[in-house]
Structure 1
Amino acid sequence: MLVNNGNLARKPAWSLHDARTATAAKSLCIALLTTAVFVASPADARGRWTEAQAKTWYAAQPWLVGANYAPATAINQLEMWQAATWDPKRIDYELGLAQGIGMNTMRVFLHDQLWQQDPEGFKQRIAAFLAMAKAHKIKPLFVLFDSCWDPDPKLGPQHPPIPGVHNSGWVQGPGLPGLRDRTRYPGYKSYVQGVIGAFAKDDRILGWDVWNEPDNGADQYRGQEGKEPLVRALLAQVFDWARDADPTQPLTSGVWIGDDWAPGGKTSPMEKLQLAQSDVVTFHDYSWPETFERRIKQLLAYNRPIICTEYMARGNGSTFDGSLPIGKRHNVGMINWGFVDGKTQTRLPWDSWQKPYVLAEPTIWFHEVFRNNGTPYRQAETDLIRRLSAAPKGVVPAVPSDTSASGRQR
């Protein structure tokens, strides 16, 4: 039985069972001690932050507000980062839009195959992104793995967007073939520790979201039976590997699917792992404001900083004017899905997978803050983001008296 705990499951570099005889094993121990060569033990990894450490870190941050980010020119995280389609000019422009409305963070997805393809080039592009983000006073939260959408990611040119379909090209990482192939796992460790290790002390980075929605079944795609146990076992190792890299930034993985996240509640095994391992608590919610606030109150009981890393789906009842003031009042960081309309096509709703919007646009945009040309989808929303981000932590300023009803979000 595999114990799903990274510290218990991780093995030392060598084992006494590998020695041919007890005498050989004893000699090996003596040789190691004599030459002062010691194998790192789980105790050498940094532990999960205490509540006090997490609160100290959070107190040093501004109220966090931002978006999940991929440039309009990229259909997914591979197209964003690969050398052939890396678009720094567009990225710099869009980060400027974010700064202009008071955003100070962006949640940005990486991918293990990018590391396997070109680790040095990948690190250089991450460094370039960080330089642009810092110039715009933005600290990114990087995502390492993802269980959403296409389970079979492939490097190289990505297919064009499917007309009328939401997020038609986003890919999982490592993907189902990679989860089932244990020979690839050393490569995942190399990726986690290589990326985090390169930037472990970099104060331009907000933190590391080690796995996005790990228990997402990605039901749009068939043949994913048995995925959740594989992800859960690997997620435990990923937290362990990440802590071995000794980052000064927090680690997290956000809960999203359950109804009761309170301590002692009906959390799933995956949610228990996420909540027990995260330095700071993160969650997703695309519900009405009443549900959003109920989720926050459940998570407050963990006595750690809270960041909502996905929200805002207008047609689903999750809006800026409904959720953002609640987050501000509770000092919960707020990162909405979508930023500039582009190749991800997430202005279209989730149901576009069943009925593509090829003849007409939806009545309202589902996600996104800006149109492709940089103008706000709704000026009242960007005004709200700017106004809330400028106010002190926990303070929700009153709506200016000269704002007409027609200018507010309906």
Structure 2
Amino acid sequence: MKLLKTTAWALLAGMLWTGCAKKEESGEEKKEETAASGTGREIWTKEEANKWYEGQKWPVGADFLPSTAINQLEMFQAESFDTATIDKELGWAENIGMNTMRVYLHDLLFQQDSAGFVKRLDTFLKISEKHHIKPVLVLFDSCWDPFPELGKQRDPKPGVHNSGWVQSPGLKALKDSTQHPRLERYVKGTVGAFAKDGRILAWDIWNEPDNPNTSSYGKVELPDKVDYVLPLMTKAFAWARTQNPEQPLTAGIWAGDWTSYNTLKPIEKVMVDQSDIITFHNYESADKFEKCIKQLQQYGRPIICTEYMSRGNGSFFGGSLPVAKKYNVGAINWGLVSGKSQTIYPWDSWKKTYTKEPELWFHDIFRKDGTPYRKAETDLIKNLTASK
């Protein structure tokens, strides 16, 4: 079902904020009671999640930022919202068979101009739909710069991977619980405006919530960051559920021992327990990628890898993507077009100086002119998606 625009603005202006019911797999009576109480929907049962997944195309795509943007703010702020580049680059993705993109939003965009932000997000979804792409939208992110600021974003630092990417919420907001009502408005307003919108594949509540950013901003990070993130992430899941989204909610586990539920870290247990579908990150070899999938199958829910493919770390399309197809696991690699994010450079560019384009790109698929970095890779993606 497509979003009725007047409904979106009405939701944004006047929706009532309510709590979220805890999941109980007790049948239709409980669901009706939940809906009547106004507390939002429950966590999907395994059966509901798998039925949803059966109705989707095999999700294959990339973590997307247009080449003209350095971060989430530059992508969506009114002054730099580059629809021409977004349209062009999503067209390249469509041509190789991709049908989803993982796209990061930011709380400051909603705070700055909630109606304008929702309108621009709707425009992005129109462009995505034109190219038969259903994005996964990320609400919060714990990676890279903990001090985001609105306005003109800084220029990239030459040769440095993701030199301008920013966290959401930033450190100051994260450690200030009085900001929770503002963040609640962001989650409810954004999810609520698009809760019934079939153009969206899923909502990713929080990217790598316990990432300490050791190699980049570790010295200025909150030393007990996870103690602030965990309760806020739990609230964010609940806030999103109050809007009764027809799309699944998730948060991807990314580092740890996933052998069993008991070996998960406390924050990972919350991520798994609160997710309608299971998502994860893996930047390692194909055998380790497959091992992760087998470990996550224990939860009996659809699985999507929302970050993979780092050539310099031994993660390649030729290794991981056929494995993902074998197990019917969605696959979203980091990076589509080489641009201001500079993710063709490796993670160690924060410590090591690079003065020219690396011979082996770390991430990304296309050059700015649409030429594939490696045609064999785009041919593989096209062939695997065409035959699914």
TM-score, with length taken from structure 2: 0.89
Across the aligned residues of Structure 1 and Structure 2, the Cα RMSD in angstroms comes to 1.5
Please give the per-residue CA displacement for 1:306-331, whole angstroms capped at 9, x wherever unaligned.
00000000010000001000000000
CA contact 1:163–1:356 (8 Å) conserved in 2 = no
2:385 is matched with which residue?
389
**How far apart, CA to CA, are the structure 1 residues paired with 2:337 and 2:190?**
27
In our comparison, the structure showing a higher alpha carbon Rg is: 1
Q: 1:331-378: CA deviations, max 9, x gaps?
A: 0000000000000000000000001212x3323000000011110000
Contact 1:236 1:273 in 2 (8 A): yes
Q: 2:38, 2:242 within 8 Å by CA — same for their partners in 1?
A: no
In the alignment, the residues of structure 2 paired with residue 100 and residue 155 of structure 1 have an alpha-carbon distance, to the nearest angstrom, of 34
Q: 1:182 Cα shift?
A: 1.5
Quick check: 1:347 aligned with 2:352? no
Paired with 2:329 and 2:180, the residues of 1 have a C-alpha distance of: 35
How far apart are 1:299 and its partner, in Å? 0.3
Q: Secondary structure at the match of 2:79?
A: coil
Q: Does structure 1 conserve the Cα–Cα contact (< 8 Å) formed by 2:261 and 2:269?
A: no
Name the CA distance, whole Å, in 2 between partners of 1:73 and 1:170: 13
Q: Distance in 2 between matches of 1:164 and 1:290?
A: 31
Aligned equivalent of 1:131:
126
What CA distance in whole angstroms lies between the structure 1 residues aligned with 2:37 and 2:372?
49
Task: Determine if contact 1:212/1:254 at 8 Å carries over to the other structure.
Answer: yes
Deviations 1:154-185 (A, max 9, x none): 00000000011000000000011111112211
Aligned to 1:377, which of 373, 377, 387? 373
**Runs of at least 5 residues in structure 1 that lack an aligned partner in the other structure:** 9-39, 393-410
> 1:347, 1:368 within 8 Å by CA — same for their partners in 2?
yes
The whole-number CA distance in structure 2 between the counterparts of 1:164 and 1:341 is 12
2:270 to 256, 270, 273: 273
- Give the length in aligned residue pairs: 355
Shift of 1:135: 0.6
Counterpart for residue 294 of structure 1: 291
Moved over 3 A (4+): 5-8, 40-43, 262-265
* Structure 2 equivalent of residue 191 of structure 1: 186
> How many Å apart are 1:263 and its aligned residue?
3.4
Determine the C-alpha separation between the residues in 2 that align with 1:42 and 1:233. 24
The 2-side partners of 1:342 and 1:136 are apart by 21
CA distance in 2 between partners of 1:302 and 1:125 (Å):
36
Letter in 2 for 1:384: L
Does residue 52 in structure 1 map to residue 30 in structure 2? no
- The answer to whether the 8 Å contact 1:209/1:251 transfers is yes
1:249 aligns with 2:247: yes
Q: Are 1:332 and 2:329 matched, yes or no?
A: yes
Match of 1:66 in 2: 61
Shift of 1:264: 3.2
The counterpart of 1:226, out of the listed 214, 217, 224, is 224
CA distance in 1, matches of 2:90, 2:74: 18
Identity across the alignment (%): 56
User: SS of 1:139's equivalent?
Assistant: coil
**Alignment-mate amino acid for residue 362 of structure 1:** P
Q: Decide whether aligned partners of structure 1 residues 280 and 52 sit closer, same or farther in structure 2, where only a CA change above 3 A counts.
A: same
Q: 1:23 is matched with which residue?
A: none
CA distance in 2, matches of 1:388, 1:41: 44
CA contact (8 A) 1:212 1:253 kept: yes
2:213 partner amino acid: A
Q: Which amino acid aligns with 2:243?
A: A
Highest relative contact order (Cα 8 Å, sep 6+), 1 or 2? 2
| 1:42 Cα offset (Å) | 8.2
Aligned AA (1:92): D
CA shift digits 1:182-233 (9 cap, x unpaired): 2211010000000000000000000100000001011211232121110011
Letter in structure 1 aligned against 2:250: T
Are positions 1:101 and 2:114 aligned together?
Answer: no
Q: Do the aligned partners of 2:156 and 2:164 also contact (CA within 8 Å) in 1?
A: yes
Q: What is the CA–CA distance in structure 2 between the aligned matches of 1:83 and 1:44, rounded to whole Å?
A: 34
Distance 1:72 1:384, change over 3 A: same
| Residue 117 of structure 1: aligned partner | 112
Match of 2:361 among 355, 365, 369: 365
8 A contact 1:145–1:211 mirrored in 2: yes
Partners of 1:42 and 1:349 in 2: CA distance: 50
Native 8 Å contact 1:285 1:311 kept in 2:
yes
Note if 1:263 corresponds to 2:248: no
Could you list the runs of 5+ residues in structure 2 that have no partner in the other structure? Answer: 1-18, 23-34
**Per-residue deviation, residues 98-118 of structure 1 (Å, max 9, x unmatched):** 000000000000000000000
1-structure distance, mates of 2:193, 2:165: 26
Q: 1:273 to 1:6 in 2, by over 3 A?
A: farther
Given that 1:263 and 1:302 are in contact with CA atoms closer than 8 Å, whether structure 2 keeps it comes out as no
